[in-house]
Amino acid sequence: MKKIMVDIKNHLMTGISFALPVIIAGSLMVAVAKIIGLAFGAADLNAFAEQDGLSHWLHLTQETGFKIIGLMNYVLGAYVAYSIAGKKGLAAGFTAGLIASLTGSGFLGAALGGLLAGYSSEWVSRKVQITGSAATSVPLIILPFITVGLQVLVMLLLLGDVLSWLNTSLMAWVQQMTEDGTSTVLLAVVLGGMICFDLGGPVNKAAWGTGNVLFLSGVYMPAILVNVAIIIPPLGYAAARFLRPGNFSQTLKEAGNGSVIMGILGISEGAIPFTLKNPAR
């Protein structure tokens, strides 16, 4: 059992090592666009979506950066599967990332789907043996059909509604607490815990989305709390990386460098490489 857990952790870290440059590149694009915009007195670049010139370019740069960050689930799912099964796991791994994005399960869904994709691809390649001229159909047709089908069955059909229900229920719960006059400290504890619980997953998105929806309705406190909480995990790990560099591998040192930028921008996914290293802690 211990060996299995170590193997799973290594596969997850391999996936993270591929996903990390994607997150950092996207974050840098967003940061540059926002900094230039702020230098010209523009705090919200979305206002320039329909304009021309530099302002429109800044908006497009910001949106491109966010799209690149959005590729994280795809890369994570694909390369977790790749670390287990090689090229034959990529199709199902990318499917895992797609389903994670569609269902809102975030990096947890992508990681779980990537493991399912990798192990199922390895199992199918060993168990399905066809000889003769039809042998080429195994990697091209049979294996992707089974492994992608498993992703649809398990990660979408079985878990999709559960994740959607969880997301909707959490948003309704936060809104109810705000309307009931729950104490600020208790509200901060609940929202902060939700933000940091799964680092970009459905619980995180429920708290963040609810805070910002209420902000647009003139209820400001939840938005303040979630946007303070969202920077704590990445900046905390970044601080640890610089204060105690000897405690971290080269991969996590690079992750810590990126966490500085992602923390400043309020992207909690910057804490994922450290969290996956020791999820229980």
For the chain, which residues make up each domain, given as ranges? 2-160, 162-277
What would the pLDDT profile of 132-178 be if each residue is shown by its tens digit? Answer: 666 677 777 888 888 999 999 988 888 777 766 766 676 677 777 77
pTM of the full structure: 0.68
What would the pLDDT profile of 186-216 be if each residue is shown by its tens digit? Answer: 889 988 998 888 776 667 777 777 787 677 6
- CA 118: distance to chain centroid? 19
Closest CA relative to residue 221, chosen from 170, 186, 197, 265 = 186
What would the pLDDT profile of 25-80 be if each residue is shown by its tens digit? Answer: 887 788 888 888 888 877 777 777 777 777 888 888 888 988 888 888 899 899 99
CA distances (Å), origin 82, targets 52, 70, 100, 139, 268: 43, 20, 17, 14, 25
Instruction: Look at residue 48 in the predicted model and tell me its pLDDT.
Output: 77
Identity of the amino acid at 147: T
- Look-up: residue for tokens 């559960």? 162
